[in-house]
């Protein structure tokens, strides 16, 4: 995409959200935005949910929980619901 729009070093690109569930390689999109000072990301609702899920997931060993499908059994109330929401609505490419 950057080649298509010919984003130069003196240009500024404002990325208007929802990077985490778009296209084939959202991780590469995030990496590119972090590497380039002239790309200004603005979080969308899916990015916000993904960031909150990732922040909470740092606290838990999820290997067993996801292997057994036990997203309903997180110790913090509401965390299972947030994870299910992200998984069902924002956790896959659209």
pLDDT tens-digit readout, 27-82: 899 999 999 999 999 999 888 888 887 887 776 666 665 655 555 555 555 666 76
Sign of CA dihedral 42, 45, 50, 56: positive
pLDDT score for 36: 94
pLDDT-based confidence at 13, cuts 50/70/90?
very high
Closest by CA to 52, choosing from 7, 94, 90, is: 90
Calpha distance 65→36 (Å, rounded): 36
């Amino acid at each position: 995409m950057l080649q298509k729009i010919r984003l130069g070093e003196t240009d500024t690109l404002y990325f208007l959200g929802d990077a985490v569930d778009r296209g084939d390689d959202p991780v590469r999109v995030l990496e590119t935005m972090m590497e380039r000072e002239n790309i200004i990301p603005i979080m969308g609702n899916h990015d916000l949910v993904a960031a909150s899920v990732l922040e909470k997931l740092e606290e838990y060993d999820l290997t067993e929980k996801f292997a057994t499908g036990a997203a309903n059994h997180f110790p913090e109330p509401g965390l299972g619901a947030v994870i299910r929401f992200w998984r069902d609505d924002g956790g896959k490419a659209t």
